[in-house]
Structure 1
Amino acid sequence: MSTLSTSSLRPLYKASQVRELDQRTIAGGIESFALMQRAASSAWHSFRSRWPQARSVTVLCGGGNNGGDGHVLAALAMQSGLKVQRLSLKPRDALSGDVARAAELATAAGVGFEEWHPHTTLAGEVIVDALLGTGLSGEVEGSIKQAIKAMNTASQPVLALDIPSGISADTGAMLGTAVEATCTVTFIGDKIGLHTGDAPAYTGDIDFRPLGVKAQAFFDIPPTAWRLDDALLGEAFTPRSRTSHKGSLGHVLVMGGAPGFGGAALLASQAAARLGAGKVTLATAHEHITASLVRCPEVMVRAVRGGADAADLPASADVVVIGPGLGQESWGQAMLQSALKASSPLVVDADALNLLASRWPDLRRDNWILTPHPGEAARLLGCSVSDVQADRPEAARALQRARGGIVILKGAGSLIAGPSGLVVCPYGNPGMASGGMGDILSGMLGALVGQFNSLEQSAWLGVMAHALAGDEAAKAAGERGLLASDLASYARVLINP
């Protein structure tokens, strides 16, 4: 199995970094207006490839450079024979610099200029959002808010330029309201805020256009994060050695399933088996033994009645998955205490995270993967869920700084914080919002940690295989009714490319 690095991943940037890249490009000899024209031309190409039959377009332009891109796109549409409705949120005499120049270009091309007002009918077959771009810092308000509402209540598809207006380019948070785009064409550097938080519900398809700017050539502007790519699966899962045996492929111990809560641990242990672990042992409450044997007889199951039964189990495993169905009572506490005494790598999920927050608030170690959803992350950080969701990238980084190891902040656009920095998973779908999905992920992670030398690499591959398996399952039979137990068979196919 090969070693992976961020070098093959798409870099993601903050808005300030992209502005700096923009300025460096201009300083390098490309006129700022020429760069605006290049952006508009790329956006027009994106428009035409997606809606080749469209005969009319409505372009809503703000007062900044994003609006300038919109004016130039309106000119290109007019020159291509489309009927163009151009609506400006600012009066013509309030425009300045490149934006005024772009507006004049559109007027010279024969495009009409209307000031937008709340009862304006959006007449085009497609609407272009060129209102705000990446400069937004506070909540959307006033006429911009009304214009966004008008776009969202219209029935036409929407192309957003650079980022849907109302979405933070740095955090993915929706700032009051945001444009629900069908497609977003983004320029120069891809933005982290397009891929996590609220953003996936607003961006539609993302079309990245670098405009000839090689962002990674500027070594003093390091990416703020990286975007996972499914091509990594083919790189990582090379054919096994002909002399492989179960002892060389990792022994995973799943600890969980308190009395009455057996399902989560059963899901995790079977997922570990399906993801290629050499051996899987499940340590669970006595009453779940029969269910485990019936469900997956390949999993070795051990009855745990209390702390004494759990004490020696972690020492025999290469990796311990602790948390699924654990509970927070004395049984779960004893299991977690036993796991924490082991030197083996840990995958920590569910109630094990809640127990860490309440009983081990300062514990830190380098050889664990923590897998919180936003609620668990909030408890670990001592803040609110809304605080976590307002800046998911910073929440993931803060948790990794405080607790060490690898942190996976789950949710739309799951984030992985580790020694190589922050990585974003762009895969997954709303059908995965159902019980047991996190338990499946924990089992998958345990299996991969047992097969790879790197916790971070295992986290990248596990999160990606989990999300892509969800996408494959949804493609086969739809999002509604997707069960966690559906994922393992799809993931198995993905890791055997």
Structure 2
Amino acid sequence: MSVSSHQRPLSSHQHPLYSAEQVRELDRRTIATEGDGFALMRRAGEAAYDALRARWPWVRRLCVLCGGGNNGGDGYVVAALAAADGLAVDLVALKPPGELAGDARRAHALAEEAGVEAVSWDDELTLDGEIMVDAMLGTGAKGAPREPYAAAIAQVNAAARPVIAIDVPSGVDVDTGHVEAAAVQATMTITFIGDKFGLHTGAALDYVGDVVHADLGVDGRRHADLTPVAWRQSRRDIAAALPARSPNSHKGAHGHVLVVAGAPGMGGAALMTSEMVARIGAGKVSLATDPAHVSASLTRFPEIMAHGVRGTPDLASLIAAADVLAAGPGIGTGAWGQAALRCVLEAGKPCVIDADGLNLLAARWEGYRRDDWVLTPHPGEAARLLGCSTAEVQRDRRQAVVELQRRWGGTIVLKGAGSLVFDGERLMLCPFGNPGMASGGMGDALTGVVAGLLGQVDGVAEAARIGVLIHALAADAAAEAGGERGLLASDLASYARRLANPQSLPNHADHA
């Protein structure tokens, strides 16, 4: 299933992400208009060399590895520019120059004219440059790199030198972010014309380094028939979704959220979810949990109305009083969790389902579908909801989130590096977050953020989009303050509160 043709940005701050074929089409149209493909290749090489010198102004020797096609051609242009600039250049040809054609052949001739002679790849070759330029495999490459590229990738990585990747690190699939076997571990990737979706999610994030987009004077948004496959979020989206509150507002205007969480022995999940609901600005927060957790809940958060629930009769009246439901964290998959989730689903109210709630859906509610919920699976939970392996989910995260939405409806948040949010029409990618979020309770915190926003923004999709954004930015702020190691879900609450009040924050540069 493909993403809907209704993909449009929700704000002018959002950045379009394209597939490799879409960018190739933009490339074809630009060449057809300008009548000179080599001029476009030279612009790409110039942009790459400028980025290289800006990042590493001290460099005196480059090692440029070139494959065939346009990607190799870009590398030959970089080699020619570096030589003209007085740098020593080691130029390595993975494809014999005599086999090059078209613009790539002209680019090789340009390097020769600049006095740079290409050396054919050999497994015994020593790569000596202070900076490596990866121009081996471009956006059309799929699957595991074959020889001699696999050996060259291993050599580049073993050299442990800074690497600038041209358009994409060799070995990374720009459509999915998947790495089949090995890939160049770049320090920086400069990508041309249209930014590529696969550079921003999944395994690719271990390889791309800092991604720099050079449009080369081509604006893909002027081509209305080439709808981006996704949009990258901006921190500025928060202010548009959460304007300042009216002076006459009251708690009833901002949603009453009931958190159904915490089966016996799992009270921590209930507390973390409930706190985030409150900190993100919900008007009222109720908690339905195992009776053993009520005392601790009231001690820690007196603002939360905690209720001990032994069975469905206890839960029914609490659900009736709430506007929004959040279920799943710590409910387990036993009788308590099953009964609680059944009550939540039968209520027919907007809800957020996570954790054990998702596992129960996969096991006992196959075929159930609705439009007014948000499901927030990590890749393992997504695999259970789809009946496939986690590896299959991660191989193509975009396809996975689209298929999840097709089967289950509503809005799906596929968590992980480069989290994805899809509501059936628009696919959003969150570029924020950090490895410190790989700790217990982060999913519970996200459930609370999204549920707390459901009573404050327009619809479940908006709550999911802004919730994912705030959650990731809060984690980044907490990591900046204290580091990634030891980052806890409970550390996010105060930062999330500040982010939910964008009018009170100083202006920040948008790092997306």
What SS class does the counterpart of residue 311 from structure 1 fall into? helix
Question: When the two structures are superposed, what TM-score results if normalisation uses the length of structure 2?
Answer: 0.95
1:273 matched to 2:272? The reply is no
Match of 1:16 among 14, 21, 25: 21
Q: CA deviation at 1:164?
A: 0.9
1:405 matched to 2:410? The reply is yes
* Aligned residue-pair number: 494
1:285 matched to 2:290? The reply is yes
Match of 1:394 among 384, 399, 403: 399
Match of 1:59 among 61, 64, 80: 64
Match of 2:240 among 215, 232, 235: 235
Q: CA deviation at 1:420?
A: 3.2
In the alignment, the residues of structure 1 paired with residue 350 and residue 436 of structure 2 have an alpha-carbon distance, to the nearest angstrom, of 31
Letter of the structure 2 residue corresponding to residue 466 of structure 1: H
In the alignment, the residues of structure 1 paired with residue 123 and residue 286 of structure 2 have an alpha-carbon distance, to the nearest angstrom, of 63
In the alignment, the residues of structure 1 paired with residue 293 and residue 57 of structure 2 have an alpha-carbon distance, to the nearest angstrom, of 58
Partner residue of 2:378? 373
In the TM superposition, what are the counterparts of 1:15-94 in structure 2 within 5 Å?
Answer: 15-94=20-99
In the TM superposition, what are the counterparts of 1:34-433 in structure 2 within 5 Å?
Answer: 34-433=39-438
Pair 212,360 (structure 1): closer, same or farther in 2 beyond 3 Å: same
Q: CA deviation at 1:155?
A: 2.0
Residues 402 and 424, structure 2, Cα contact 8 Å, conserved in 1: no
Letter of the structure 2 residue corresponding to residue 29 of structure 1: E
Partner residue of 1:472? 477
Residues 79 and 91, structure 2, Cα contact 8 Å, conserved in 1: yes
In the alignment, the residues of structure 2 paired with residue 495 and residue 154 of structure 1 have an alpha-carbon distance, to the nearest angstrom, of 45
Letter of the structure 2 residue corresponding to residue 251 of structure 1: H
Letter of the structure 1 residue corresponding to residue 325 of structure 2: V
Residues 181 and 202, structure 1, Cα contact 8 Å, conserved in 2: yes
In the alignment, the residues of structure 2 paired with residue 278 and residue 153 of structure 1 have an alpha-carbon distance, to the nearest angstrom, of 55
Q: Deviations over 1:401-440 (max 9, x none)?
A: 1111000000001011114321111111111100000000
Q: CA deviation at 1:469?
A: 0.9
In the alignment, the residues of structure 1 paired with residue 116 and residue 477 of structure 2 have an alpha-carbon distance, to the nearest angstrom, of 45
Q: CA deviation at 1:271?
A: 0.6
Q: CA deviation at 1:310?
A: 1.3
Residues 242 and 457, structure 2, Cα contact 8 Å, conserved in 1: no
In the alignment, the residues of structure 1 paired with residue 85 and residue 237 of structure 2 have an alpha-carbon distance, to the nearest angstrom, of 40
Letter of the structure 1 residue corresponding to residue 78 of structure 2: L
In the alignment, the residues of structure 2 paired with residue 459 and residue 488 of structure 1 have an alpha-carbon distance, to the nearest angstrom, of 17
Q: Deviations over 1:143-182 (max 9, x none)?
A: 1011111111112110011111111111100121111111
Q: CA deviation at 1:468?
A: 0.9
Residues 166 and 176, structure 1, Cα contact 8 Å, conserved in 2: yes
The Cα RMSD (Å) is 1.1
Name segments (4+ residues, structure 1) moved above 4 Å.
none
Q: CA deviation at 1:100?
A: 1.1
Q: Deviations over 1:98-146 (max 9, x none)?
A: 1111011001011121112122221111111101111112211211011
Residues 272 and 445, structure 2, Cα contact 8 Å, conserved in 1: yes
Residues 441 and 463, structure 1, Cα contact 8 Å, conserved in 2: yes
Q: CA deviation at 1:79?
A: 1.0
Residues 315 and 344, structure 1, Cα contact 8 Å, conserved in 2: no
Q: Comparing 111-120 with 398-407, which one deviates more in the overlay? A: 111-120
What SS class does the counterpart of residue 363 from structure 1 fall into? coil
Q: CA deviation at 1:30?
A: 4.1
Letter of the structure 1 residue corresponding to residue 41 of structure 2: M
Q: Which runs of 5+ in 1 are unaligned?
A: none
Question: When the two structures are superposed, what TM-score results if normalisation uses the length of structure 1?
Answer: 0.98
What SS class does the counterpart of residue 18 from structure 1 fall into? helix
In the alignment, the residues of structure 2 paired with residue 55 and residue 183 of structure 1 have an alpha-carbon distance, to the nearest angstrom, of 18
Partner residue of 2:489? 484
